[in-house]
Structures are given as C-alpha cells and as structure tokens.
Structure 1
Amino acid sequence: MIGTEKTHDSNLLKRWIITIGIFLIVQLIFIMVDGTVLEPNINDSNDLFARMGRWILDSRLFTEWITPYSFPFFNMFITIHIIAILIAALGDIISTIFSKK
C-alpha cells in the first residue's frame, strides 16, 4: 500500500511540474511576441465563427479587465489556461482528500 501511495504522489508531482512548466513557457512566448509584428493575424472573414470570435475578443473582459497583454487573443488564451489549471487542481485536491483513509 505504501508503494502505491508514493507512486501516486510522484506521478502527481511530475504532472504538476510539467503543467506549470508548459504554462511558464507559453507565458514567455507571449511576452516575446506581444506588441511585435509576430502577433498572429486573426482571419476577419464574414462567417459566423469568425464574427463570434471577434465579438468575444473585443468584449470588455479581454480588452479592459484581463489585460496582461496588448493582444486580446493572448488575454483570452491565458484566461482559459488558468481556468483549466484551476479545474485540474480542484480535481487533484478532491481525489487526494477522498483517496486517503
């Protein structure tokens, strides 16, 4: 039993180190690209998906409230990334609490 718990803890630690590492690498890329000519050009075609995407990116949430970057797509991406990390953390906390006896 003790070996199984130790393996679970080490796998959990590895997964969180990888998750935080990927998050930091993405942030470094965004910092380097933000405000330069390397920012991606979002297709502003007239189809429904592009209009919805533009509506979301131009909302006050990503242009005034959450603004670590000048490019709204980066702000949206970082928000989604943080929400995903928080959901994973909550799941790991709950599984750790209920797996211990």
Structure 2
Amino acid sequence: MSYAPQKRHSNRAKRWIITIGVFIVVQIIFIAIDGTFLEPSINDSDNVLAKTVRGVLESKLLTERIAPYSFPFFNLFLIVHVVAILIQALGDSISAIFAKR
C-alpha cells in the first residue's frame, strides 16, 4: 500500500482551500475599502517607476473594461491575483495529468 497519492491529493486540496480563502478575504477587504477614505494614496512623484505604475493604473483596461472597483489599484490587484490562480490551476492540472500512477 502506498499513501503518497492520498498525501499529494490532501496537500493540493489544502493549498487550493488556502488560495481561494485568501482570494475571498482580500476581495471582501477591497469591497469594504473601495470608495471610502481608507483607500491608499499612490505617490505621484517624478520617479520613473511611479509614472509607469500610474500609466498602467490609468489604462483603459483597468478603468473601463475590468472595473469592479472604483480604485484602479484594486482592479490591477484583482487581475494579478486571478492570473496567479489560473497559473496554479494550470500547473496542478499538468502535474495531475503527468503524475505517476
């Protein structure tokens, strides 16, 4: 008898529960903060990195197309988080397909 597949399955399920839990908690925090005085302020200095980030945050993608929040940083964070979850899902799918049986 081998217990490795069950342990592997258990770890994967635990990792997914944590990932989805963190995603939901972050979204609840964003919903609570969005449109209030608690929104963080972004530095508008003459720094090249700050200008680049400001350009990304003011892009049409984050202000019009994917805009569940009024604060663009939350929209950017949502996109990054969803992409990370999709990459993890793809990796888990590939490892499940090619795992030794």
Q: Which TM-score applies when normalising by structure 1? A: 0.97
Amino acid at match of 1:91: G
Large movers: runs of 4+ above 2 Å: none
Equivalent position amino acid for 1:30 in 2: F
Provide the C-alpha distance between the structure 2 equivalents of 1:59 and 1:65, rounded to a whole number of angstroms. 10
The residue number in structure 2 matching 1:29 is 29
- Matches for 1:8-23 after TM superposition, within 5 Å: 8-23=8-23
Give the deviation of 1:2 after TM superposition: 3.3
- Matched with 1:67 is 67
1:16-95 equivalences under 5 Å are 16-95=16-95
Shift in Å at residue 78 of structure 1? 0.3
Query: What value does the CA root-mean-square deviation take over the aligned residues?
Result: 0.9
How far, CA to CA, are the matches of 2:38 and 2:26 in structure 1? 15
Q: Matched residues in 2 for 1:64 and 1:2: separation?
A: 52
Q: Aligned partner of 1:7: which letter?
A: K
Structure 2 unpaired stretches of 5+: none
Q: Distance in 2 between matches of 1:85 and 1:79?
A: 10
Q: Which runs of 5+ in 1 are unaligned?
A: none
Shift of 1:100: 4.1
Match of 2:54, as an amino acid? R
- Helix, strand or coil: the match of 1:99? coil
The 1-side partners of 2:47 and 2:94 are apart by 42
In the superposition, the TM-score normalised over structure 2's length comes to 0.97
